A and B are shown apart, each in its own frame.
Chain A
Amino acid sequence: MEVTGVERQKKISQPKVNHKKVRAKIWADRYMYLMILPVVIYFVLFHYWPMLWLRIAFYDYKILKGFEGSKFVGLKHFKSFIQSPDFLNIIWNTLYLNLLSLAFAFPAPIVFALLLNELAAGKFKKTVQTISYLPHFLSMVVVVSMIKNILSPSIGIVNSIMKNMGMEEIYFLGEAKYFRPIMIISGIWQEMGWGSIIYLSALSGIDPELYEAAVMDGAGRFKQVIYITLPGIAQTIIVMLILRIGTLLSVGFEKVYLMQNAYNLSVSEVISTYVYKRGMINNNYSLATAVGMFNGIISLILVSLANSLSRKYTEISLI
């Protein structure tokens, strides 16, 4: 077989794999591999292996009958979801809620981390940090129950204060227009502290000499943040942003479902609640899987898109 110039060039440029060296290297790093092994096993068991069962989406799957006993229905469940009269509304509700979250909830931990970073290390800083983490550990049922009680027009403290100030009471959970703000604000309260950890760790990696040099050059606190701190954590922010974009079609099911009521259904029906009602309550796993698969494919496209845009304009990317 004739070898072209280009192929020859490729062969020359490719380093020869020395298997002995590789084996030696692996053996030398065996503890590192051992450390990563549980995570690998976890991902294989709980993320990759279950993918084999994604074909449930193409069957009218019955647990006891298995794949061979269940009827193959092709794209029936995908069609059923897409042709549903609520499809566009559900997609819009999910997307809109996530875009709002991206606009307000995503920057909140960054701002919080920057503010914390400006505080001198001490008891106050640690106390603020600890308190800010606490809501993350509350059960969603407890959080929603608190929201309902706080905002109730009859027994809630917010309306009580409003009434004492001469304002008219508002049934916040009874008006669809308040649903999204409540979701976003409570989401920020719950996750801002926890979400700031990753940025705080990125901030700790910035070389203190840069700040010293900036002070020498006459930069104030604000300029230090703009020209040193933010660029220092830019990579982390972008990576987090790309990952966040990948979840634009996912909304935490529990909170939306618990907050959903007859008044706000038009804006609170999102993909996950729809799947729960049509798929899980009735044990229609095929439909639930089909919607999940649809969701996954769209999310993969979004992540890939965000990743390539980021690589093009900022040279930072996930892969």
Chain B
Amino acid sequence: MFNISTQALFAQLLVGLINGSFYALLSLGLAVIFGMLNIINFAHGALYMMGAFCAYFLLNVLGINYWMALILAPLLIGVLGAVLERTMLQRLAGLDHLYGLLLTFGLALIIQGLFQNYFGSSGLPYAIPQQLTGGQNLGFMFLPNYRAWVVIFSLTVCLATWYAIEKTKLGAYLRAATENPTLVRAFGINVPRMITLTYGFGVGLAALAGVLSAPINQVRPLMGADLIIVVFAVVVIGGMGSIMGSIVTGFALGILEGLTKYFYPEASNTVVFVIMAIVLTVKPNGLFGRA
């Protein structure tokens, strides 16, 4: 009896880790955008969805496979993000957070509405790439190869991003530009361009998560809307703007949610918010946030 439940427990932990990788990738993008640019990017879910659609069209219209889509879709959507930043978000620099939130929320509604208008709500199928079909029998569970790939790949991307921002010179410029843009500009660094590129990068991360999720879920216009609220909770729990915080919290909450799905599945959609409420009561700046 005990043996069976440990097996199930391992399985749920692993499944939680897989879902956590999506949370981590998405909340990382949000944290980068908020931490560096002070924008609460509500369009993140819509851009994630566009990443998945982008992969679908690359495959079905241009015949470009999953692996290329993994590079191309984030680039294309990232460029779109940069354009959005240049044409709209930049005008809100220096204003209250609420303006950016309203703008991106509106953008998300428009994008989702347009996609739903054209593609309906049930979604489009996207197959798992040939090389990653099948799975491994781990004894306590059957682990699909594709899911294992998702965990490894997103963990790598997350750590690379953390390293780039916290440990490299470029990251240092970026952090300095957030603290004091005027001074950094005085050193001859093109701050507005850096901000545009950073927004593009954060959006690219969202699109990357979208491509990763396309073979698992149906490619649906509302796939981002369903996820984004949870991801925001993850960011808030981790501490707004904390890069490592968002990664660790993303994975941790994925695991917690996985366990909830096993012990009390009815609450699996709400557990993240309960934790958010508790964390905010105890640590208003989030677990990794700086006061």
Q: Do A and B bind each other?
A: no
Interface residues of A (CB under 8 A from B): none
